[in-house]
A and B are shown apart, each in its own frame.
Chain A
Amino acid sequence: MINCKYTGLTLLRLLLLTAAIDFSSCSKHTYDQTLPSVSFLSVAPYGLSGDSVLISGRVNSPGLSAVQFVGFAYSTQTSFSILNNQFLANVNASPFTAIVPVSPDSTYYFKAFASNSYGYSCSNLFKYAASISGSSAPCNLSSNTALDNGVNYTLSDVNSGGSYATFGTFGVEADNGAYETINIFFNGNPPSGTYTTVANLSALNGDTNPFDVGIEINGNSVNAGCKVYVTVNANKTTTVSFCSGEYQSYENQYASAKITY
């Protein structure tokens, strides 16, 4: 004869034990894991008229299937869909870029997006204030001068072109005819925009990010993260400027310069 009470208790214990094992083994998948991850990289004035910008983005990971479309959307509002001023870009390019029209002296919010067969995802918003004039370094410098470790120099000899590109594909070299020499290395003849120095100058060779730049002060490379401002002027000259680029000589030193070529 069966003791029903005992049987019931035993079964209940077994049920609870199995349920506990089941729930503890539960996986934590989310739908976001299926989607591409995308970043908005940069926005820079493009051309001479100030009515367009060059924007770039990068797909960090494709998600669970191949990326089908990449592009940008932007607005003067902070909340907008990817259909708002949508520009599709080359899905095979990394980073992917687009040239989009803007109105001077307006503030825009940009975002990049990428889609695959599961859906789409967007980057964070990037705020940009379009201006009529090109951007320049936020330090007070005269053209073709440098301030290196507290000493002012006049850069009387300025040259540019591919033959001055020890790194990258386009170089600018400025010196005072003596012992102060500044070299700036770009990937191509730079359009107006804001560039950022890389950690290692040799990384510029084959670098596909058009907004990477390298600087050498008397043969010493400036640390990563220094902003370099390029403005293509109306007279077809180009002005390159940067402030307080840190580099290592016998001690930590800082240099600023404004060069027009």
Chain B
Amino acid sequence: MSRCLHFLLFLLLFLILKTGYAQLGLESSFLSPAGDFSYVKKPTVAFTLTLKGGSIDDRYRCGFSIGYCNFKSTQDTIPTTTIQTGGLGNFVLPGYFVYQSYQVASFSFTNDFKILKDANFSPTVGLDLVFYGIAYSDTYYTETLVQASETGNTDWSAGILPQVGIQYVYSSWFLLTANIGRNLSFGSAAPMGFWKTSIGIAYYLR
């Protein structure tokens, strides 16, 4: 993982040095959980800071972003069962699971492509490669078996986030963007599927 990160950092640095330009962006996103994830997590808001290479006229731009969000559970407790087998037969042991917190930091290698050349207003397509670091606290209980609370747990997930959107060159300094995409993740943590709708503003550094 660190080799990959070093390569991507090198690539970004190369792009900035090559063109002499960079853009610093701030993005606000609405994350709407999808699939199984939608049954355990409520929609939430995420904030992302982006650094991309390239000038305001470039069609292809790439860079890095870091983001943060906090997913809240759809309900206080999630009922669980554990099957106990033994000499007296099978028993279904009832229990529950509670997420006290579920905070996600995202680290992305982000790419986007402006479809209309030399147009101030243009549709875009993009693809983010994302690593999610997850910090959570939970409590779980199974009748006659276990009761525990854990804080400071960590987990990870990785994913791709294809996006479509629009961008508007507001001035020679500012670029406005709006995107919608779907996160497809895999990894150690339960899959985090969500729709991401975002708006952002980028400021060009010269």
Contacts and interface: CB of A to CB of B under 8 A. Distances in A.
B interface, over-half SS:
strand
Nearest to B29: A22
Task: For chain A, give the interface size range.
Answer: 20 to 34
A31 B39 contact: yes
B80 A119 contact: yes
A27 B34 CA distance: 9
Contact of A29 (B39, B173, B197): B39
B81 A30 contact: no
A115 B92 contact: yes
Contacts of B92: 69, 71, 82-83, 86, 88, 113, 115, 120
A64 B39 CA distance: 11
Nearest to B173: A2
Interface stretch (A13-21, A92-100, A188-196, A201-209): A13-21
A26 interface: yes
B1 interface: no
A115 B199 contact: no
Nearest to A30: B74
Interface stretch (B12-20, B83-91, B107-115): B83-91
Given A23-B30, A31-B78, A15 B94 contact: no
A64 B94 CA distance: 19
A35 B74 CA distance: 14
Interface in A178-227: none
Contact of A121 (B33, B75, B79): B79
A77 interface: no
A143 interface: no
B39 A30 contact: yes
A83 B79 CA distance: 14
B142 to A, nearest CB: 10
A120 B43 contact: no
Interface string B57-85: 00000000000000000110011110100
A interface, over-half SS:
mixed
Nearest to B178: A18
Interface in A106-139: 113, 115, 118-121
A14 B39 contact: no
A7 B38 contact: no
Given A22-B30, A86-B91, A120-B94, A81 B143 contact: yes
B171 interface: yes
Contacts of B74: 29-31
Given A22-B197, A83-B143, A83-B144, A119 B39 contact: no
A151 interface: no
A33 interface: yes
Given A7-B174, A11-B201, A35-B79, A83 B91 contact: yes
Nearest to A118: B39
B32 interface: yes
B176 interface: yes
Given A22-B32, A31-B74, A33-B39, 6 more contacts: A19-B30, A64-B36, A69-B92, A118-B39, A119-B81, A120-B81
Interface of A: 2, 7, 11, 14-15, 18-19, 21-23, 25-27, 29-35, 64, 69, 71, 81-83, 86, 88, 113, 115, 118-121
13 contacts: A11-B201, A14-B176, A18-B178, A19-B28, A22-B30, A25-B32, A29-B33, A35-B79, A83-B144, A86-B92, A88-B90, A88-B92, A120-B94
Give the 5 A-B CB pairs with smallest separation, nearest first: A22-B30, A119-B79, A29-B38, A18-B199, A115-B81
